[in-house]
Structures are given as structure tokens and as C-alpha cells.
Structure 1
Amino acid sequence: MNRSSLSIAVVLATATLSASAGALHGIDPNDMNRSAAACTDFFDYANGAWRQQNPIPDYMDRWSRRWQSGEVNKEHVRDILADVSAKTDWPKGSAEQLAGDYYAACMDESRVDQLGMKPIQPWLDEVRAIKSRADLQKTMRHLHTVGIAVPFVLYSNQDLHEPTQVIAHVDAGGLGMPDRDYYLKPEARFVEARAKYHEHVAKVLTLAGAKPDAAKAAADTVFEFEKRLAQASLDNVALRDPVQQDHKMDFAGLQKLAPSFDWAAYFDDANIPRIGLNVTQPKFLQQVDKELKSTPVEQWRTYLEWTVLRAASDSLPEPFVQEKFAFYGKYLSGATEIKPRWKRCAEDTDSQLGDALGRAYVEKYFPPEAKARMQDMVKNILLAMHDDIEGLDWMSPQTKAKALEKLATFNPKIGYPDKWKDYQGVSIVRGAYLDDAIATSRWNVADDRSRIGKPVDRDRWGMTPPTSNAYYNPLLNEIVFPAGILQPPAFDVTATDAVNYGAIGVVIGHEISHGFDDQGAQFDAQGRLANWWTPEDNAKFQAKGQCVVKQFEGYFIEPGIHHNGKLVLGESIGDLAGAKLAYKGYLKSREGKGPEPTIDGFTPEQQFFIAWGQWRGDETRPETQRTMIQGDPHPIAKYRVNGPLSNLPEFRAAFSCKAGDPMVRPEADRCEVW
């Protein structure tokens, strides 16, 4: 997002300022709803005017300056790709050739439509030719090479107990709806979703050539197959507990768990060593084994054909693209219009070949001074966490020592990786979008598998440089901030410290605190899934988490539908601690400098909190809210703003809120974890 698009006119000059070109700016007061009260509904107060003036675009499911920034970021990616794709004589295999030709192939919609089903036909023919269970497994192995999980998925990850080593993890997959509850729960919204899904599957199969009656029967087969998989899958709350997904075994144990599958052939074809591995959901794999033994081959063929079409829909002619959008984009998310093709192509190129365009992105949009300022912010917020741990009155010295040891091993990654993927061996040609998508998927799967049985490479990243997001990895104990999120309004080298600490600073604190939330607290300083708590301290920690669970259980999106406090616990601990730590980090940033000035009538403390409200102030479609409530560990934006801040005395002081105000939780109900 460029400077002018922020519409910010306030800048730094003296103790109380208005506009003055060239100096550091504060928050944008034009975004605020001045008729709202900060102590009543801070979400509305901080960003209500912006939301009123900027309705959600038809192709989006939510909207705020945060999401607008991410979409503008895609324009930057598009500009880079448009430049490199305009030239057709790049050296074969170079980053420019790969990214440019992939994007050009994606953008050539007329060519995709002209080719029709031809590119996917060999895969469908292979599925339709399955006659035996041996054929079935051979095709499953083939589909896995291009990332189509049917129905399990195998990927590399660190050993939960020896995180210096990478092993295979066998996980559940194979569902076409968001999670198991969509197949099983009796509430009306899930019953409706099941009916819509039946219709969607039948329409896709009809587009692929099936007669309507046959397509409807096939959709029934697909649904019943996936329902049995869903019944054997963990729910979303259980999936947040690493202990429930910790089932390390040797190769013989895997064979014993699912003896109907030829694991030897799978591992040999994939060139994976037969060493210790982890099965995240043994019950699911046992169900797969049961399906291999008892489900007729013709039903497997139907399921595999659907899965191939679902995986390839984005790369097929327009009717497939529109039908996929109708169910996943329109029905489940509430968008009324599909994203422009250039945007989808930019997203796909970044997803498949992110490092091939990442260097150009970083050179253009992430200057060295931005990285230096981010490094300083991370340092201050880590110091704030250190002070916080040392000052806890509920934690014993023994557990504190372990917590501080873990904090000391945190590894911040900022902007971009030190080593770039070279995509050696990938062949990308113009005019063959689906073939290109398959080629890049095959390379990425092979690249992932190549890590198994080797020491962990700590230089690898889990996100591409242009990604507008951030993450914490407990096995590496690292916090990662790609250049794509380090753009205005989250982070702006022309903004005051109050604004930057209130926006990206809270994100930094959020990611740090993930190392100490209900999940992260189960991993030690070396990244091992190991208990480092005394029983007494752990009981106190769990009680503090239960306060957050109770708070968010009380937040409804509509009558009868409220947040699942256990599902959003980790993210809510992250937001609560993130705001507190970022505020303390901000105070550290001013040591020796003195306080920042009041700007446009707002104190630095007020600017800090307003910046968070403006960054996180999403307007979200009702359909998306329902989907989020069901399966997203993140709360709805309104409660990500109001929920944490209503617990913070610093917020109350900044806006002179009083006991009894909606933004002030009663002392008996106030939550504080870190």
C-alpha cells in the first residue's frame, strides 16, 4: 500500500501537532467513528468510519485496512510478474522464466478453455481404469506425487521429541468440506451445507461428462465415503492439542496399523527412508485401512475422480472455476463475485513459486531500513516478555527458569530467507497451465519429501516473502515475519513508534506469546514436546487459560451461535499477551528519547491502541463468520479487538474508562495469562 492510499495527513512536529509534510505520522483520525465511545465499543470507535466508507468488495469475505493491504500487495506481485512475463527469452529454468511463464500460462484463459478437459484427461483415465486394489494403490501413490491427498497425506516435519531431525508425518485428509462437523452435526446450517455439497459434487461430475442421474448417485457415494472418514477424524479442538497427535512408531508399526496398504511400495516410490515416523491420527488411518479392504473398487474410483477434479478445478475451463467458487467462495464465505483472474494467478504463482519472485519483491518493497527497524522492535518486545516472566507472582522460580531459557532461544526471521529455493528441474511452458500446476506441485512434494531422514534445515521458511501474514513454529521456536506483512498500515517506516508498536508490534507480541500459549507451552526450549512446568504452575496456567475460554464463549455472532472458547484459546491468549507485550515494548523504545507527542489530539498511548483497532478492524460477511466460528482458531475481528483490550489496565487508563463501561471487564472476570 503506498503512502497516499493511507489517506494520512497527520505528522510529527512538536508536542501537539497537525499536518506537517515530511515528518512521522500518527494514526488516521478519518477512519474513526467519533460518534462511538472508546469505552463502549472500541472496535467501532477506532475504525467504524473506515468500514462504513469502505464496504467489503464483492470478491472478498472480509475487509479492513489489513486486508486491503494484502490485496494491494498482490498488485505489487502482479506488477513484478507482468514485467517478467512480458519477456519470453529468459534463460530456461531461471527464476524469471519460471515465474513469468507460469503467470502467463495462468492468465491465458482462452487457451485453458480451448484445451478443455484434455490436460486432466490422462489422470481421469488412470482413475477410471482402476480394476483391482493393486491398481487403486498405484494410482493413490501417483496422485500423492502431485499433492492430491487421497485420503491421507504424508509430509515432512520435525520429530516432536527430537526436533533436530526430520521425519515423515502421516496425517488425515480427503475431505471436501471444511471439517468433520459439516458431515456429522445435526444443526440446520450443517444440514444445509451437506445438501449444497451434494449439489456441488454432482455439478462438477456433470461438467466432467457424467449424466445427471449418474452424477447425483456418484455424489451420494462421495459424501458417504467422506462421512466415514470424517467420523474417524479429530475435531477442531482436539487438533489443537499436540499430545493427541503424537504417535511415533517405526515402519513396522505403520504396517501393522494399516496392513492393507502397501507402505513398502509407497516409501520406495517416494524415495523415503523407512525410519521412525509419526501418525497424527491412528484412528483415521485404521479407517483408511478398512476402506481399502471393504469398499468396492468402483466406489473408490468415484471418490478419486471427484478428488482429482476438485484439486484441478482452478486450472480447468471457466465452468469448473465458477462452480468451485459457487460453493466454496459464495456459499461458504459469502463473496458475491470471484476474484479477478490476475489476482488468482498472482496468488497461485506465489504459492507454487514464491521464492522465484520473492527476491524481486523484497528488492522493490522491503528496504534495509525497514528490516533494521523491525529487528529493533522485535528486540524490545522480547525484552518486555523477559520482564513479564520475571515479574510473575504465580510462577515458581523453577518454571520461570525454564520459561526464560525458552525465550532466550527464540529465533526471529524478518523479511526473507537467507537461502532461496532454485526450483531446479521444474519445467514450465506457456500455454499449459494445468501441466505447469502439476509440475510445480510435483517439485514441491519431492522437495518436501527430500527432507525426511535428514537434520532440520533451520534456514527454511514456511511462508513466501510476499505473504501478508506471520507465524510461530514451536518445533523451531521461531517467529517469522515475511516482507509481505511488513507494509503499511501494519508497519510503516514513516509512522511514529506508537503506531508501529500498536499495529505490527501487537502481531510480534502475539507470535512471541504463541510460544507460551496452550499449545506452545507444551514445547521446551529445544522445540521438544516435553513438560517443563511444575504441576502447581501448570494448574495455575490452565486456570488462567480457562478465564479466556469463558470470556470468548460469551461472544455471539448471532443468536445461538457463539465462539468456541477452547478453539480460539491460543489465538486469544496471543492477542491478549500481544497487546500487553507490545505496549511494554513501546515504552522500552522510548527510553532515553522521552515520550512521543500528542498528534491530532490523541496521546501516544491512545494512538497505540487505535492503531491496533484500525489494523485488526475487519468487517466480515455473516457466512464467513459462521465458517470461522466452526473451524477457525481465530476469533471474529470485533472480539479480537474488544476482547483483549477490555482486560488491560493500560487501555482503561489511556481512554479514562470507568468500572461498568462495556470495555472494562469486572475485576472478578478479568483475564491475564502473560
Structure 2
Amino acid sequence: MPALRPLSGALALGLAAALASPASAAKPPVACADFHGNTNADWLAANPPPADTGMVSAMGQLAARARQQQIDLLEAAKRAPTGNVQTLLGDFWASGMDEAGVERDGSNPIAPLLERINAIRRDKDIPPAIAALHQVGIPVVFNFSPDVDLNDLSRHIGYFSQGGLGLPDPAFYTRTDADTRTVLAQYGKYVEQILVLTGTPAGEAAAEAAQVIDLETRIARASRPIVELRDPRSNFAPVPAAGLDTQYRKLQLEDFIVAQQVGDATVSMANPALFATLDSLVDDLKPAQWKAYLRWRVGDAMAPYLSRAFRDASFNFRGRVLEGRQAPPTREQQVLDAINLAAGPMLGREYAQRYLDAGTEARAETVAADIRDALGAALERDPRLGAAAKAEARAKLAALEIEIGMPDRDIDYTVQPVGRGSFGGNMLIASTWRHGSEMRRIGEANASRRWNVQPQTPALAYDITLNRLLVTAAMLQAPVMAATRGEPAQYGAFGALVGHELTHGFDARGRLVDARLDVRDWWEASDANAWNALASRVASQYAALPYPALEGVKVNGVQTRDEDLADLSGVELAWAAFEARHPDADKAARQDFFKAWAGLWAQAMTPAAATAMASTSVHAPGQWRANAPLANLADFGELYGCRVGSVMRNKPDDRIQVWP
């Protein structure tokens, strides 16, 4: 299935997920003691944390609503499609929901791939088989995917990067602790199951599984630790595509590039030692070992889309052992996930056309533009930025693009008709189309046509690589941008989220890309020192806040600092924009602004869920995402008559302003 892009996650800064809040008491707290609990009292009473996941949130409910909308769309496309894309989606959905048909199909969908693998006789047959599997969206041995050229952010190049492993971290293959050894033993049993299902005689499965794990271990030892992949710059190393065959004679990488229909003269290869190892493995290992590995990778990648024997084997290891899940998702969710993976842009196109209201889109554009203007004014008066940094910030804000709903530039939806006969076959058809559409991004100045989020997924994100704000169609509904709510609520919820994301274009990360989309630090040392001092104050303030649902635990202010600072900024900017648009707003309207902000972060969770969140999340819990920015905003305390020094009205000396 399509490989993860090496830089997208690191370069695109997405909207935070909703976080924690305690269940409300029978009597709601007063606004000046806990505005989050007061505003969301009815919601909290009606939404106790479920036993299975341990948490529920308003933003999580938005995501669930968007999933149901996608299912409704696919059901309608199955019954009465309009146009070619809906026909494809409806047939895809119908084939996936036909569980009896999937069971009858067995392993037939992957039979042609297995035949290709079984036809390998000599070393030189291995690289073409690798290339063929990549073409259908099954990346084996390594990953090859498009991403931004850090020397020219307007274009993509192909990235050769590490991959090809069945376990999520190379360290699984080399650590010697008991827990890891137990997981590796369970993994071996899973590999055996898949090999048997793909044609290995039961008596030979253990030996072949050992060969698979041996090959993967060799790849893992030549791979870099996961932590070293977090810096996008360490993954970027442009090299000429011509000459790769000379350097890696056995892998035939130039032929591989041609097979993916890529004609660019440059690729990125940040770990040449890995590819030198892979090149030697083609020569050193017997074809039989490679055949076992490739059959395993095909069976593992396609297992969720084949008969129950495949699905159960996959879930028992990947779901239960690796993810700790007790039960697989519903059939609807499994098929929806498959369609989003292989045909997500198709579904996104239809989703936006069906669910995005033109009036709501226009309102979102107006609010976002007002927030941008408020940020411009804030940057101009910011005493921390020197003249050079302020001039660059001004140019960068002027160049900012705001894209709402779905990508402006469409893609080619020409794809082989899928029909309703074989879900696994349809998955391969759609995955081949998706892989081809990804490859066509390479070598063109068309980076802007790619979004790192899909229109059917609720998200609001600042794309640092292209200096643009992305707002998906699915995001423009309650509690973020409900058409039925007035302008105060639209500014308080959607506007504050826009402000949060735009802040990332001008913070400690945004400083690394300038107005011309060159990757460089455009701050002086004095600018950085001033910002770091602000960030330290934010970290200290949040570190004093108790973590909801946990006794004696505080928020990890250092861990959440950057997102906390963006929350503070977002509320400040949205409030300034609202006041500029409605200087004569009455008290009720002004209160609606703040209630909308607090409503975004309604969430309840169990102590177990809170413990997990506290140790891993880069966001403060929902109670403090709602309350802390308001406690720092003087106008909030005055509006609600809160006593200075109360929870919701910080003392002047303790008050933090991002934009003084």
C-alpha cells in the first residue's frame, strides 16, 4: 500500500486533536472558577468517557460525524451514482461490503503478484519484481515517494528512503530485551501464517519465516534509528538519477525509476549505505529467500482486504500485539479505511462537492482573512522582532495563501473500472492509480496541488513548505464552523484555530522558511532570544496546572509549550479580529465568542487515558486549552467580572501576552 512520505509529517503542521477534561459535577462550576466546565456542563454530563477508548471529545465527535458522512456518500454512490468517480467509489464500496464475496475470493486477488514472484529464477529477476510491487502500491525493500525539494519548495523530487520491514521500528530486530524478543517470536508466527496462506507448504513455513526475518534483520541493521529521521534536513540528500546503476549495479535503480514513470534528473538518497547493503543482498542471498520475503510482504500488505483467514492473522498480530486493540473495527470502518488509503483523493473530491456549503466556505474565507490581518498588525507592533525579521515577516504574510475546502488543482481520475466482483482486486486497481498519481508529482513545479490532509478529514493546518493555510471541507461544521451559529462563535472557534495555525508560520519553526520559500533561518539571535524567553514563561505557567483526572500530576509545560503558545496567540488574534469587525458588539455576542472557544475542547477521559495523554501529547489537556488562554486575556476577566488572581483571571504580573 502507499508508503508514508518522508517529510510530509515533519513539514506540515496540523491542527491539534481535542484533549482532556474532567467529567462535570452535578452542579456546573462557575465561569470564573472553570470556564471550560461551566460552558460544557451539559455536554460533559451527556458524554461520560467510554470504557473501550477511555475518552470522548467534541473534536472526536466531529471526526466521527465526518466518517459517517463518508459512509453515507458511499452508500448513495452504490445505489445511484452520478458520474464516473461516484461509479468507481460505489463499486469499490459495494465489493468491500460483500463479505461473502470477499470470502469466496480468497487469495485470488494477489495470485498474479504471487505468480510474478514465483517466476524469479536468478538475481537479475529480483529488481524488476521489486519495481512491479511498488507500481501497485506495495513498497518492498525500500520506500520511494514524492516530497518537497528542500532546494526548491515549489517542486517535488523522489525520495529513496528506508522501509521494507514488517515491524514498525528497525530496533525491533536488534534489541535483546525480553519484551522485544517476545514480540519478535509472535511476529515469526504471523509471518508463518501469511506464508502458508500465500502458498508455502505448512511443513516449510517455519524455515521460510526464519529466512524472511533474517532478510529484514539485515535491512534493519543498515537502517537509521527512527529518532534520526525526525529532522527533514537529515532526510534530504539530492543526487543525480543517472549513474545510480553504476553505484548500485544489482538493484537496477535507474530501471526502477523508469518503471515508476518518473523522468526527473534528481532524486534524494540520504542513506546510501543502506542501498549499498540492499545491493549486496540481491547478490549474496539466494533467490528462494527473496521469493519468500516478497510473497510475505504481498500477503501482509493485502491481508486486511482479503478473506477472513488473512484478516484474522493480520489483526491478531498487528491489532492485538502491536496496538493493544481487543477487537477489529467494524466492516464499514475497514472498507472506509481501505478506500481512503487507495482512493482518498477521489472520495475527498466527492465529499467536498456534497458537504461543503458555498456560504460556509465564503464565511470561512472572510474570517481567515480577518485573522491574517490581525496577525499582520500584531507583527508590526511586536517589540521582539528586529527590523530585518519584521520586514521578512511582512513579506511572508503578504505571500500567504489560504485554501479552503479541497485542493484548487484537480488530478487525473482516469482509472481502470473496478466493478463489484473483487474487493482485493479493486484495492490493487485503486492503489495502482494512487501510486501513479503520486509519481506524477515528481519533477514538476506542482507542489501546491498536494495537500497533506484530505478534504474528508477534519483538519486545519499550516503548510510550512508552501506558506499556506489548509482548511478541509470536513472541518467546516460544528463545533468549528457551524453555519447556524453567529459570527461571534465563528471567530471564537474557527478564527482562533486559524490564528493558532498561522502563528506557526512565524514562530520558532516558521522562522526556518522565508517569504520566498527558501529554507533558511530569517531570525537574528536577538529575535530568537526574545521568543525563547516568551516560550519559557508559557512553559512555566502551564507546568503549574493540574492534569485533569489525575491526582498529583501537572501538565508537562516543556512538552506542550509550542502548542500552548499557539493557543494563546490564536485567541488573541481572533479576539482582535472580532473586535475590529464588530466594535459595538454587545455583552452576549462577546460571551458567545469565548463560549465557542471553550466548546472546541469539551472532552472527558478516564485516569488511564489521561495518563497516556499526559506522557505523550504535545497539547495541554482540553480544560487548559480552553481556560489558560482566557485567563491571560484581560478582556475576558472584565467581561465575566472575575476576581483578579482567580483561576480565570491571572494577576497582571502573571499574565502572558503573545502580541503586546
Q: How high is the TM-score relative to the length of structure 1?
A: 0.80
Q: After superposition, what is the alpha-carbon deviation per residue over 1:474-497, rounded to whole angstroms, capped at 9, x for unaligned?
A: 222121111111111221011233
Structure 2 residue aligned with 1:590: 582
Given the alignment of the two structures, is residue 70 of structure 1 paired with residue 54 of structure 2, yes or no?
Answer: no
CA 193–162 in structure 1, closer or farther in 2 if over 3 Å, else same: same
Comparing 644-653 with 499-508, which one deviates more in the overlay?
Answer: 644-653
For 2:7, the equivalent position in structure 1 comes to: none
Q: CA deviation at 1:126?
A: 3.0
Cα distance, 1:186–1:114 mapped onto 2, change above 3 Å: same
Q: How far apart in 1 are the matches of 2:122 and 2:633?
A: 67
Pick the aligned partner of 1:641 from 625, 632, 640: 625
Report if aligned partners of 2:62, 2:478 keep a CA contact under 8 Å in 1: yes
Deviations 1:492-534 (A, max 9, x none): 0112334333433333223222323444321111222223222
| Residues 158 and 164, structure 1, Cα contact 8 Å, conserved in 2 | yes
| CA drift at 1:308 | 1.5
Counterpart of 1:6? none
Aligned-pair CA distance for 1:103: 1.1
CA deviation map 1:190-225 (0-9, x unaligned): 666555545544444455455777555555555555
Deviates more, 1:518-527 or 1:103-112: 518-527
Question: Residues 574, 220 of structure 1: CA spacing in aligned structure 2 closer, same or farther, 3 A cutoff?
Answer: farther
Amino acid of the residue matched to residue 101 of structure 1? D
Q: 1:180 to 1:644 in 2, by over 3 A?
A: farther
In structure 2, the residue matched to 1:101 is: 91
145, 151, 158: which is aligned to 2:141? Answer: 151
1:321-352 deviation line (CA, Å, top 9, x unaligned): 23433444445545443332223323433443
Q: Which residue of 2 aligns with 1:83?
A: 76
Following TM superposition, by how much is the alpha carbon of 1:257 offset from its aligned partner in structure 2, in angstroms?
6.6
Q: Alignment partner for residue 371 of structure 2, among 362, 375, 381?
A: 381
CA distance in 2, matches of 1:497, 1:661: 27
Q: In the aligned structure 2, how far is the partner of 1:486 from the partner of 1:255?
A: 49
- Residue in 2 that maps onto 1:11: none
d(CA) in 1 for partners of 2:624, 2:123 = 49
Task: Name the SS for the 1:63 alignment partner.
Answer: strand
Farther off after superposition, 114-123 or 187-196: 187-196
Question: Relative to structure 1, is the Cα distance of residues 623 and 188 closer, same or farther in structure 2, using a 3 angstrom cutoff?
Answer: farther
Number of the residue aligned with 1:524: 514
Q: Which of residues 32, 47, 50 in structure 2 aligns to 1:54?
A: 47
* Closer, same or farther: CA 635–373 of 1 in aligned 2, 3 Å: same
Aligned pairs for 1:625-640 (under 5 A) are 634-635=618-619, 637-638=621-622
Q: Which amino acid aligns with 2:579?
A: L
Cα distance, 1:184 vs structure 2: 6.1
1:362-441 superposed matches below 5 A: 362-441=352-431
Q: Is the 8 A contact 1:38 1:46 kept in 2?
A: yes
Amino acid at match of 2:625: V
Amino acid at match of 1:80: L
Q: 2: distance between equivalents of 1:528 and 1:567?
A: 28
Is 1:341–2:341 an aligned residue pair? Answer: no
1:172 corresponds in structure 2 to 162
2:599 maps to which of 611, 628, 647: 611
String of CA shifts for 1:392-436, please: whole Å, max 9, x gaps: 222211011111211111111111234433421422121111111
User: Could you tell me which residue of structure 1 aligns to residue 301 of structure 2?
Assistant: 311
Q: 1:622, 1:259 → 2: CA distance?
A: 53
What's the CA shift string for 1:210-251, capped at 9, x where partnerless? Answer: 577755555555555545545555555544423222322222
Aligned equivalents of 2:189, 2:553: Cα separation in 1? 26
User: Within 5 Å, which residues of 2 pair with 1:453-472?
Assistant: 453-456=443-446, 458-472=448-462
Counterpart AA for 2:234:
Q
Structure 1 residue 313: Cα displacement: 1.6
Q: Structure 2: which 5+ residue stretches go unaligned?
A: 1-20
**Is contact 1:75–1:343 with CA below 8 Å preserved after alignment?**
no
Give the SS at the match of 1:337: coil
Q: Counterpart of 2:474 in structure 1: which amino acid?
A: G
Within 1, Cα distance between the matches of 2:440 and 2:299? 27
Could you tell me which amino acid in structure 2 is paired with residue 70 of structure 1? A
Q: Normalising by structure 2, what TM-score?
A: 0.81
**Bigger mean CA offset, 482-491 vs 275-284:** 275-284
Aligned-pair distance for 1:141? 0.5
- Give 1:109 deviation, angstroms: 1.1
After superposition, the Cα gap between the structure-2 partners of 1:134 and 1:575, relative to the gap in structure 1 and judged at 3 Å, is: farther
Larger mean Cα displacement after TM superposition, 434-443 or 319-328: 319-328
Deviates more, 1:476-485 or 1:234-243: 234-243
Q: How does 1:260-339 map to 2 (within 5 A)?
A: 260-282=250-272, 284-289=274-279, 291-292=281-282, 294-295=284-285, 297-339=287-329
- CA–CA distance in 1 between the matches of 2:176 and 2:37? 35
* Cα distance in structure 2, aligned partners of 1:178 and 1:626: 20
Query: CA–CA distance in 2 between the matches of 1:628 and 1:140?
Result: 42
Q: Residues 628 and 148 (structure 1 numbering): CA distance in 2 closer, same or farther, change over 3 Å?
A: farther
1:442 aligns with 432
Q: Indicate conservation of the 8 Å contact 2:47/2:604, yes or no.
A: no
Q: Partners in 1 of 2:497 and 2:340 — Cα distance?
A: 23
Q: Residue 578 of structure 1: which of 566, 570, 573 is its match?
A: 570
Whole-angstrom CA distance in 1 between matches of 2:219 and 2:236? 20
Distance in 2, Cα, partners of 1:669 & 1:175: 50
Query: In the TM superposition, what whole-angstrom CA distance separates every residue of 1:567-605 from its partner, at most 9, and x where no partner exists?
Result: 8676555445434433433333433x4245169xxx345
Distance 1:114 1:84, change over 3 A: same
Range with greater deviation from structure 2 (524-533 or 560-569): 560-569
Which residue among 245, 248, 252 is the counterpart of 2:238?
Answer: 248
Contact 2:156 2:445 in 1 (8 A): yes
Residues 58 and 335 of structure 1 are in contact (CA less than 8 Å); yes or no, is this contact kept in structure 2?
A: no
Structure 1 residues 360, 449: CA separation in 2 closer, same or farther (over 3 Å shift)?
Answer: closer
- Following the alignment from structure 2 to structure 1, what is the Cα–Cα distance between the partners of residues 552 and 183? 18
Q: Secondary structure at the match of 1:494?
A: coil
Change (3 A) 1:288 1:611: farther
Write the mapping of 1:428-577 to structure 2, written as runs, cut at 5 A: 428-456=418-446, 458-541=448-531, 571=563, 573-577=565-569
What is the CA-CA distance between 1:67 and the residue it aligns to? 1.8
1:519–1:570 Cα contact (<8 Å) kept: no
1:162 is matched with 152
Letter in 1 for 2:523: W
Are 2:153 and 2:447, in contact at CA under 8 Å, matched by a contact in 1?
no
Write the distance in 2 (CA, Å) between the matches of 1:182 and 1:539: 40
Amino acid across the alignment from 1:85: K
Q: Percent identity?
A: 25
Identify if the C-alpha distance between structure 1 residues 671 and 214 changes in structure 2 by more than 3 Å, giving closer, same or farther: farther
Local SS of the residue matching 1:408: helix
Distance 1:575 1:222, change over 3 A: farther
Query: Contact 1:232–1:287 (CA<8 Å) still a contact in 2?
Result: yes
Matched, 1:134 2:127: no
Greater CA drift, 442-451 or 183-192? 183-192
- CA contact 1:95–1:356 (8 Å) conserved in 2: yes
Alignment CA distance shift 1:659-1:175 (3 Å): farther
Q: Which amino acid aligns with 2:588?
A: P
